[in-house]
Structures are given as structure tokens and as C-alpha cells.
Amino acid sequence: MTYTREQLTEKFGNVLGDKGQFNNNAEDTERLRNNKELKEAFLGSGRSEDDWNDDVSMDNDIDAAFRALGARDAKSAPNVSKPQTVQLSEPAAKAKAYTSAYEDEFLPNQGDFMIKNDQDVAKGFSDAYKLNLARELKPKNLDGSERSSKVQEEKDKVAGI
């Protein structure tokens, strides 16, 4: 059976550190070395009874028993909420927009620009960069889809995006 960290604290006392590890207190080690449930958890994790009784590293054995009971399990971790949307910083958005415009607009037409001095290639690159930048600066949901906002939709209509 696995326990949450709170359940282990109720059952065995305050013997676990911040990350769920055994605190290695001599009094607690002596008290817990004869605990039947800890010993069974230790043996259930594939260790031998000789290891439990060898007096060499009892603190580590007790720590292994707590790990087997779930002291470091995800259920005991603090609940941290993740942001629902992400938005690139301006330098990151500019870098992505520039790279995309360079690869999509300039590279395929670089011969026309260099040899023929075709300024339409430069204009196409500039236009693509501006559109890409506007797209990259928009907030997105965690799955990568665009976040919808009525206010932003109105701003986009006015800006012509």
C-alpha cells in the first residue's frame, strides 16, 4: 500500500525531510528499526531480510522503506498550477519571425535578389517578417492553438491582421 506524505507523517511522526527523505535522526532510527510495516515495505521492494538486520546502514534501509511506501510519490508533491497560456517574449518572437521569414521568403528567392537586384524579394521578406511577428506575439494555449479573445480580435481587424 502506498501513502501520501501526510499519511506517513501521521503514522510514523515527523521523520521526513522536505523532499520525502528520512531525516536520519538516531532516536527515530532506533524507534523505527523494529516497525513491522516498514520492514515489510523494505522486503517488498526486493531487498533481503539480512540487509534490514545488518546494522550497517539502517538509516538508508528505513529511507528505502519510506520510498517504497510512497514518501516521494507525486501525490505528496505540492500542487503547483501551470499557466494556461504562453506568450513569447519580444526578442524570442522577433527571432522566430525573422527565421521563418528568412527561410520561407528570402532563401528560395535569394538569387533573384542578389543577381537581378529584385527589390520585391526584400519587400516580401519584410512583409512576411511583420506578419510572422504579429502571429508570434499573440498569446497561445498550452497545446499551441491560438487563444481567442474578442478584444484582441477587434484590435486585429482594425490593424488589418
Q: Are residues 103 and 154 in the same domain?
A: yes
pLDDT reported for residue 109: 84
What average pLDDT does range 4-16 have in this prediction?
A: 78
Q: pLDDT of 52-105, one tens digit each?
A: 777 667 778 888 887 787 755 544 445 556 667 778 888 998 999 999 988 988
Q: Are residues 32 and 66 in the same domain?
A: yes
Nearest residue to 7 via CA among 109, 75, 91? 75
Domain stops at, among 34, 58, 76: 76
Nearest residue to 16 via CA among 66, 87, 90, 86? 66
pLDDT reported for residue 71: 53
Residue 45 CB coordination number (10 Å): 12
Q: Are residues 93 and 150 in the same domain?
A: yes
Q: Are residues 66 and 94 in the same domain?
A: no
Q: How many domains does the chain have?
A: 2
For 107-121, b where at least 16 C-beta lie within 10 A, e where not — what string? eebeeebeeeeeeeb
pLDDT reported for residue 55: 67
Q: Are residues 41 and 69 in the same domain?
A: yes
Q: Are residues 72 and 90 in the same domain?
A: no
pLDDT reported for residue 74: 44
Q: Are residues 91 and 123 in the same domain?
A: yes
Q: Are residues 35 and 66 in the same domain?
A: yes
Q: pLDDT of 95-144, one tens digit each?
A: 999 999 889 888 888 887 777 788 888 888 899 999 989 888 887 777 77
Tell me which of 146 and 74 has the higher pLDDT. 146
Q: Are residues 98 and 115 in the same domain?
A: yes
Model pTM?
Answer: 0.42
Domain stops at, among 28, 50, 76: 76
List CB contacts of 59: < 8 A, sequence separation 6 or more.
Answer: 22, 24, 29
Domain stops at, among 13, 45, 76: 76
Q: Are residues 58 and 33 in the same domain?
A: yes
> Which of the four pLDDT bands, split at 50, 70 and 90, describes residue 3?
confident
Q: Are residues 16 and 40 in the same domain?
A: yes
Q: Which domain holds residue 40?
A: 5-76
Do you know the residue count of the chain?
161
Q: Are residues 92 and 64 in the same domain?
A: no
- Among 1-5, 17-21, 51-55, 157-161, the range of highest mean pLDDT: 157-161
